[in-house]
Amino acid sequence: MSAASTAPSSPEVVQQFSDLDIASTVTTPAVTRPSSPIPAALPPSPLPSGKHKIAVIGSGSWGSALAKIAAENAWRRKDDFHSEVRMWVREKIVNGKPLTHVINRTHLNSRYLPDITLPKNLVAVPHLKDVVKDATLIVFVVPHQFLHTVLSELSKPGVLTPGARAISAIKGVEVNGTDIQTFASLIEAKVGTPCSALSGANIALEVALGQFCETTIGCPTHDDSLLWSAVFNAPTFRVATVEDVNGVSLGGALKNIVALAAGFVDGLGLGGNTKAAILRIGLKEMTEFCLEFFEGSKAETFSNESAGIADLITTCYGGRNRKCAEEFVKSGQSFEHIERKLLNGQKLQGTATAEEVNNFLVARKRAHAYPLFEKVFQIAFEGLSPKQLVVGL
């Protein structure tokens, strides 16, 4: 069994230069030599200690991967953060033992990230109030189906620390008739904390393994950018911040609809040309949807950032939505059956988002303006043959 780490546990690549001739007769004066960058001073914590305290709500593969990074950074920056990071785990029995006990004893989340060693300062906690007690920085990464229950608990008086901030890494949107909102805006409205959004080309297992990738954090203020960069930026998890919370949120949600289309393409045995066309059309519809319905959003978030084009590419080639859509075409089984068969208890996000977005567009009488989104909904919910996917695009 892997030994738990007390400091950063991501693997580091060490390069050997012993065979290179790097001798030089030039000496740079000491005063001009660049020093290691000094981390920016963080906005003050509302806690008497002056340190920020991180809590992670969610412990699936993505939640555990983000919690791992946050705990490693909290350990490194003990002057800025309380070293203990708590992670909310919905209690389950695994091999006859509570999952929280298993995680805290072995420092492995055997259900969702087997063989990935978690830092010792990451503590699994089964009760939500205990997780967020005194927390100033709260990471939301539960399946969106459970978010309302979580927010109902957190909105009770005295549960959250005054002055706390939140970030959403949840994919999806909330639709009520002709109204639509991101989960970041829902969290902010329900519990009164400013809420940023994190999304990018981030397959959870690859992130947990320390394979290099980028992510995007959309923040409402500069202070939020400083704080969330300090929580998540790492040598193998490069953070870029933008002042576009809605764009980052929508990129993470809408790309799952396009990923279903990519899976249909794979299930039909079609080639790279067709998938590339689907990705182009999908990115266009994602961008236009955000610009049409979310004032202040930026097209550059989709074209330039990891939360846009990069995440779309990764999801359409390697994500769970693509995999399940391919199986849908090949097996003829329902998405509900496929979810149970392939996802080990995790939830399929693309179908729920496709339904929500279609309901919104129909209510706004704009479904015809987004033909790929419409086709995906019709295939997933109305029995349209997957072979009709590209007809009329």
Q: Which residues are catalytic?
A: 255
Strands 237-242 and 213-218: parallel
Tell me the two tokens of residue 340. Answer: 């149970």
Tell me the two tokens of residue 355. Answer: 């339904």
Tell me the two tokens of residue 83. Answer: 């070293």
Strands 213-218 and 195-199: antiparallel
Integer Cα distance of 346 and 352 in angstroms: 13
| 3-class state of residue 75 by DSSP | helix
Using H for helix, E for strand and C for coil, what is the string for 95-147? CCEEHHHHHHHHCEECCCEEEEECECCEEEECCHHHHHCCCCEEEECCCHHHH
Integer Cα distance of 14 and 321 in angstroms: 36
Q: What's the one-letter identity of residue 152? A: S
Integer Cα distance of 301 and 217 in angstroms: 10
Nearest to 181 by CA among 156, 147, 152, 214: 147
Integer Cα distance of 147 and 160 in angstroms: 16
| 3-class state of residue 1 by DSSP | coil
Provide the 8-state DSSP code for 387: G
Integer Cα distance of 137 and 145 in angstroms: 22
Asked if 324 contacts 343 with a C-beta cutoff of 8 angstroms, the reply is yes
Integer Cα distance of 286 and 14 in angstroms: 40
What's the Cα-to-Cα distance from 391 to each of 178, 216, 386, rounded to whole Å?
Answer: 28, 34, 10
